[in-house]
Amino acid sequence: MRIAHHHLELDTGSGISLNDITPQLRGLVARSGIANGTLIVTSRHTTTALTINENETRLLEDVRDFFSRLVPADAKYLHNDIHLRDCPPDEPENAHAHIVAMLLGSSEVVPVVDGELDLGTWQSVMLVELDGPRTRTVNVQLMGI
């Protein structure tokens, strides 16, 4: 049994952006020497999420529009009363980003089979930025033989 751990860093786009990290994950699997096992990705942030879906430009625009309508950034949120919280004064008003992150979840698991990520043809692993642009870190853990 072998275990490998990596921090994947990426710069995200403004507002909501979906960032395909599948090529980087495939590279880590290839260099790990692990042929069969499990890849776990977790976000290290409270205003990002991880999802597996199709990386298609118009769909990603639909997703941005949908979440913007579902949880509008300019609605009233207690978290955005920065002056009532114990936090730095430059804290962003980002309650909407936290809420969408909770809906989507912060981790994904992908089987590694014969040295490859066992994803469907149209599946990509994407970091969903909900309060960008920022530099973000994704945990990647590979376990297997």
Residues lying near Zn ion in the complex (CB under 5 A) are found at 94
**What's the Cα-to-Cα distance from 61 to each of 17, 64, 119, 131, 132, rounded to whole Å?**
9, 5, 23, 16, 15
Residue (88 or 120) nearer to Zn ion, CB: 88
Cα–Cα distance, 142 to 121 (Å, whole number): 21
Question: Which lies closer to Zn ion via its Cβ, residue 42 or residue 94?
Answer: 94
In the complex with Zn ion, the residue whose CB is nearer, 132 or 144, is: 132
For Zn ion, the nearest residue by Cβ is: 94
| Shortest Å, Cβ 51 to Zn ion | 20
Beta carbon nearer to Zn ion, 24 or 94? 94
Alpha-carbon distances, residue 6 vs 26, 42, 61, 126, 136 (angstroms): 13, 11, 30, 16, 13
Least Å from the CB of residue 113 to Zn ion: 38
Q: Taking the complex as a whole, how short is the minimal distance between the CB of residue 97 and Zn ion, in angstroms?
A: 7
Q: How far is the CB of 134 from Zn ion (least distance, A)?
A: 12
C-alpha 11/C-alpha 7 separation (Å) is 13
* 66: CB partners within 8 A, 6+ apart: none
